[in-house]
């Protein structure tokens, strides 16, 4: 493994200054559970690592009536244990609880899960169904973008050089409806064994009025170059009564909407079928 310098700045300004000093040959590191593996495999060989661990403004889970702001350095384990997340954003808790294993969850961060931009990132589907926005900051200033626009391809994001993901802001779906009990959300994951990366994952948010679905948000992971919303399938559900026949139709539509590949974890054909089944079950749940 190539030797690298290691820095622990305490402010974003110092982090940007270090990145500028290394002219892009440095990498930000959060928990290191993705990056260090890649360095060991020699996929990346940075001259320096700039740790985000000591930057206070990237830390913490802040709840307000309107939603939750997850500092990008929030550890997966902290999301898993947060009782308000479990109550108001259960799909996010479900995803956190099956990401890797407790040892990894104790160091891995939600920001790292997003910025690594793996198609299988477990935190992505539940955050995509909740109209999440991302707060980014770089030497050139701040900007907010919808989570959907963040992923550009496997390992690729819309982050500008030197930019840092500061926070993940999630509106509380329950704050927008007079009847919070009409909202359900679920995350499901299929892997070869427990603790493994997803063969496929699925998340659904459903708002019902009587028997009719008023709002449906669906997303899936490991089935395309990026974690994706399933907008065509969503349209089939909205405004409809949720019946077994409709769900069968939606499962088939999901199979057509995704574009999975065959790799060491699974085949394209299995991924198509299992994702349709998981979306059906997530809506049913
Ligand atoms: C054994 C094992 C099992 C795993 N299982 C799973 C699993 O089941 N599901 C899953 O989704 N993942 C899994 N992972 C992958 C990994 O643990 C997660 O993606 C984790 O959330 C990454 O977070 P991190 O803080 O460790 O990121 P890091 O490794 O520190 O960073 C990842 C990338 O993001 C960049 N980055 C990090 N934070 C920021 C930021 N705030 N702003 C800008 N850039 C940033 C880094 O430069 C790097 O390129 C597994 C990893 C291992 C080693």
Ligand 1 centroid–CA 146 distance in Å is 20
Distance 27 CA to ligand 1 centre (A): 13
CA dihedral 170, 210, 276, 217 (to 10 degrees): -20
Helix (H) / strand (E) containing 219: strand 212-221
**What is the C-alpha to C-alpha distance for residues 135 and 114, in angstroms, rounded to an integer?**
12
pLDDT at residue number 193: 86
- pLDDT confidence band for 179 (50 / 70 / 90): confident
The residue contributing the CA closest to ligand 1 atom 15 is: 34
0.75 surpassed by pTM: yes
The rounded Å distance from CA 115 to ligand 1 centre is: 7
* pLDDT tens readout for residues 190-243: 999 888 999 999 999 999 998 899 999 999 999 999 999 999 999 999 999 999
- Protein residue with its CA nearest to atom 38 in ligand 1: 112
Q: State pLDDT tens for residues 81-115.
A: 999 999 999 999 999 999 999 999 999 999 999 99
Nearest CA to ligand 1 atom 4: 100
Confidence of residue 68 (pLDDT cuts 50, 70, 90): very high
pLDDT of the residue at 283 = 95
Which residue's CA is minimally distant from atom 13 of ligand 1? Answer: 100
Spatial separation of the C-alpha atoms in residues 266 and 5, rounded to whole Å: 38
Per-residue buried b or exposed e for 206-232, using 16+ beta carbons within 10 Å of the residue's own CB: bbbeeeebebbbbbbbbbbebbbbbee
Return the pLDDT at 32.
98
Question: How does the average pLDDT of the chain come out, rounded?
Answer: 96
Sequence-ordered alpha helix ranges (H) in 64-175: 76-81, 83-88, 90-98, 102-105, 110-115, 124-128
In the chain, % of residues over pLDDT 70: 100
* Domains recognised in the chain with CATH numbers: 5-51 (3.30.43.10), 58-173 (3.30.465.10), 178-284 (3.30.390.50)
């Amino acid at each position: 493994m190539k030797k690298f310098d290691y820095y622990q700045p305490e402010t974003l300004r110092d982090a940007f200054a270090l990145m500028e000093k290394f002219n892009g040959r440095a990498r930000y590191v959060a928990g290191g559970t993705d990056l260090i593996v890649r360095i060991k495999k020699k996929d990346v060989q940075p001259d320096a690592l700039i740790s985000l661990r000591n930057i206070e403004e990237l830390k913490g889970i802040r709840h307000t009536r309107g939603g939750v702001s997850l500092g990008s350095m929030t550890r997966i384990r902290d999301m898993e244990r947060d009782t308000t997340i479990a109550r108001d954003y259960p799909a996010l808790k479900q995803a956190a609880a099956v990401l890797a294993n407790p040892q990894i969850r104790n160091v891995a961060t939600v920001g790292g899960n997003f910025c690594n931009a793996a198609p299988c990132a477990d935190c992505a589907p539940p955050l995509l169904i909740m109209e999440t926005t991302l707060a980014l900051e770089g030497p050139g200033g701040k900007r907010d973008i919808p989570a959907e626009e963040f992923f550009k391809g496997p390992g690729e994001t819309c982050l500008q050089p030197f930019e840092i993901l500061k926070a993940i802001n999630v509106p509380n779906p329950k704050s927008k409806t007079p009847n919070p009990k009409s909202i359900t959300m679920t995350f499901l994951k299929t892997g070869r064994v427990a603790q493994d990366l997803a063969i496929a994952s699925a998340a659904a948010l459903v708002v019902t009025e009587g028997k009719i679905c008023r709002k449906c948000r669906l997303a899936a992971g490991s089935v395309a170059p990026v974690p994706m919303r399933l907008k065509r399938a969503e349209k089939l559900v909205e405004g409809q009564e949720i019946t077994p026949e409709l769900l069968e139709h939606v499962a088939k539509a999901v199979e057509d909407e995704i574009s999975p590949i065959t790799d060491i974890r699974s085949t394209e054909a299995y991924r198509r079928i299992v994702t349709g089944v998981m979306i059906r079950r997530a809506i049913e749940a």
